[in-house]
Amino acid sequence: MRITLVCVGRAANAPEQEICDALLKRGRGAGKSLGFTDIAFLAVDTSRAATLLARKAEEAERLTKHIPPAAHRIALDEKGKAFGSEDFAKRLGTLRDNGVRDLVFLIGGPDGFLPAFRDNTEERLAFGPQTWPHLLVRAMLAEQIFRGIAILAGHPYHRGG
């Protein structure tokens, strides 16, 4: 299964992006033997359209261009389902074992998702009820993907009880 994070907003030199990239690299290395064939990160430009609706629509269009056909899409959304790390790992394993070829995590821009775009995803994921900066969400998601792979591999990185 290929995992891709597709995000609105570029932040090549931000420390949060460096953390995200490092964790995804670790996940790629650890995941190959578990059937996670690739873990990729893509960023699209934030819209500069004049209205809120136009910005959200433009960003949805940009995100859509990077979603493979038949991908299982999970939107990061504060109203989504919150998973503990072990349950998140189980979810990754279940999707892989059920034959999902492409898993795409979507992180919207500063204005959030166009409701029709968000509602057209298979799942929504939350990191609690708080609103988090988008750059931190990238790093947090990358960490949970790596942690999930480590849990599935029986690696001691995760020491949850």
- Asked whether the whole model's pTM tops 0.85, one would answer yes
Backbone angles phi, psi at 3, to 5 degrees: -115, 130
Q: For 9, which DSSP code?
A: S
pLDDT at 107: 97
Domains recognised in the chain with CATH numbers: 2-153 (3.40.1280.10)
Instruction: Report pLDDT digits (tens) over 72-126.
Output: 999 999 899 999 999 999 999 999 999 999 999 999 999 999 999 999 999 999 9
**11: CB partners within 8 A, 6+ apart:** 17, 43, 135
Instruction: Report pLDDT digits (tens) over 8-20.
Output: 998 878 999 999 9
pLDDT at 151: 96
Are residues 138 and 107 in contact, defined by beta-carbon separation less than 8 angstroms?
yes
Instruction: Report pLDDT digits (tens) over 42-83.
Output: 999 999 999 999 999 999 999 999 999 999 999 999 899 999
Is the pLDDT score of 161 beyond 60? no
